[in-house]
Structure 1
Amino acid sequence: MKKIILYLAAAVFAACSSNPEVSAPTENLNEVLACTDAKGLIAKYGEKSVILDTSIISGDDTLKGAIIFPGTAKQASVFFHEGKISDVSIQGDNSAWKTSSGLYLGLTLQEVEKINTKNFTISGFGWAHGGSVVSWEGGKLAGDSLLTHQVSFRNKRQNISVEEFNKVSGEAEFDVRHPSIQQMNPTLEQITILKPYIPSKEEGKGIAKKIESSQIPVR
């Protein structure tokens, strides 16, 4: 079984190819999602460009999936549900991929606001899931029953003081119109497009148990 640690590969690639001038890429990430399954990935991109049954580190989670074009500007992570592609993800400073909606790594928060056509809500910075969009507030990026977007902004202090950064940090939710967030104007570092699905009753029970086990009891 072939295994690769996505985080390390992405870090090596970013170090070798980082560019302060982020230009709009040309490859369409939605085409990966449209491949349907592993056979579709291989048929479209070639067997040598696809690593299946792979361990992928994303944040503080280790997931199983596939990686296409590992170690290149076209590297992307592909995940499955019941054998079908459920979501596709890219992360880092830059990538050859963009979404049909116009998202790509390196876009600023204010640019994403324009694409969404509305303000939105993100989690506070400074922790494992910091800078992640919690709700698109009904904007265009909320998608529909066929596709939606999940993104995270760079989780580090930029353009603001420590005091201002602390105001929008921690396990809380913030409207992106918050003055400190607007001044910070962080950039996209992770993008996922996915096909929403309703979990089965058994899956729902498993999710509930996982959430319950992660809760900190009130003393």
Structure 2
Amino acid sequence: MLRRLIAVLPFAIALVPSPAPAAGPEALPPFACTGPFAADTDEAALIRTFGRANVVYRSVPAAEGEMVKASVLFPDDPARRVEIIWLDEKKRRRPGDVIVHNPGPWRTAEGIGIGATLAEVEAANGKPFTLSGFGWDYGGSVLDWDGGRLAKSTGCRLQLRFEPPAAYQGDVDGDREFRSDNKDMRAAKPVVYQMLLSYGGE
């Protein structure tokens, strides 16, 4: 009898399911206007996708010193943190802005992430684009993809914000428009410091 139990034991162990591996950064969906960040998403959908423990609702800093309410993904993990500000704040549905602030694994479908260079974003867009000057709240924001591949026609716009190195001293500051192929803009060597999906109230 003992011999029979010993013989069967390995097969019994094999039938016990192994625990599912924890979702790592490689499992994150693209940072795009589809999937969990689609126009019709809500906080309940985020919880189903990322887990109850990874979605909290809290106040977050906004431009010009304001505070706004947002659903925050991975609030204790700066690399994976995402803020979703809702158009329908009461029901926490219909995203207005989806924001990534920190370097980490989030990438657009084209492979752009925090830290991407001006040249890398130009290559993904397939042509130069227009952005604002540096040194103010909305500095370094892409204003127009100028018909490139990163332009969206679905009511959701990918917006990137650039900043130059701390030691930068140049002449591409202020509330002015610049082409990304402007020689002074190229010389500033800015990189992406923030990524947004903006539904702009549509």
Q: TM-score, normalised by structure 1?
A: 0.69
The residue aligned with 2:13 is none
- Whether 1:66 aligns to 2:71 is yes
Question: Any idea what the Cα deviations from partners look like across 1:93-147, whole Å, max 9, x if unmatched?
Answer: x122111232210100110001111111111111121111111111111111243
How far apart in 1 are the matches of 2:101 and 2:62?
Answer: 9
2:100 to 90, 93, 99: 90
How far apart in 2 are the matches of 1:141 and 1:193?
Answer: 12
TM superposition shift of 1:194 = 3.1
The residue aligned with 2:117 is 108
The residue aligned with 2:20 is none
The residue aligned with 2:185 is 181
- Three-state SS of the structure 2 residue aligned to 1:66 is strand
- Three-state SS of the structure 2 residue aligned to 1:141 is coil
Question: Any idea what the Cα deviations from partners look like across 1:131-165, whole Å, max 9, x if unmatched?
Answer: 1111111111111124321110025555x5x2xx1
The residue aligned with 1:217 is none
Is the CA contact 2:165–2:189 (under 8 Å) kept in the aligned structure 1?
A: no
Pair member with larger Rg: 2
2:87 to 63, 81, 86: 81
How far apart in 1 are the matches of 2:62 and 2:201?
Answer: 21
The residue aligned with 2:176 is 172
Unaligned runs of 5+ in 2: 1-24
Question: Any idea what the Cα deviations from partners look like across 1:170-191, whole Å, max 9, x if unmatched?
Answer: 1111111111111222110000
- Whether 1:138 aligns to 2:178 is no
In the comparison of the two structures, how many residue pairs are matched? 167
Unaligned runs of 5+ in 1: 1-24, 199-219
RMSD: 2.0
- Three-state SS of the structure 1 residue aligned to 2:150 is helix
The residue aligned with 1:44 is 49
Which amino acid in structure 1 is aligned with residue 100 of structure 2?
I
- Three-state SS of the structure 2 residue aligned to 1:190 is strand
Is the CA contact 2:164–2:189 (under 8 Å) kept in the aligned structure 1?
A: no
The residue aligned with 2:17 is none
More helix by share: 1
Q: TM-score, normalised by structure 2?
A: 0.75
1:32 to 29, 36, 61: 36
- Three-state SS of the structure 2 residue aligned to 1:140 is coil
TM superposition shift of 1:68 = 0.6
Question: Any idea what the Cα deviations from partners look like across 1:64-88, whole Å, max 9, x if unmatched?
Answer: 2110101312111112112323331
Identity %: 30
How far apart in 2 are the matches of 1:157 and 1:123?
Answer: 18
- Three-state SS of the structure 1 residue aligned to 2:190 is coil
Question: Any idea what the Cα deviations from partners look like across 1:1-42, whole Å, max 9, x if unmatched?
Answer: xxxxxxxxxxxxxxxxxxxxxxxx743223430371011011
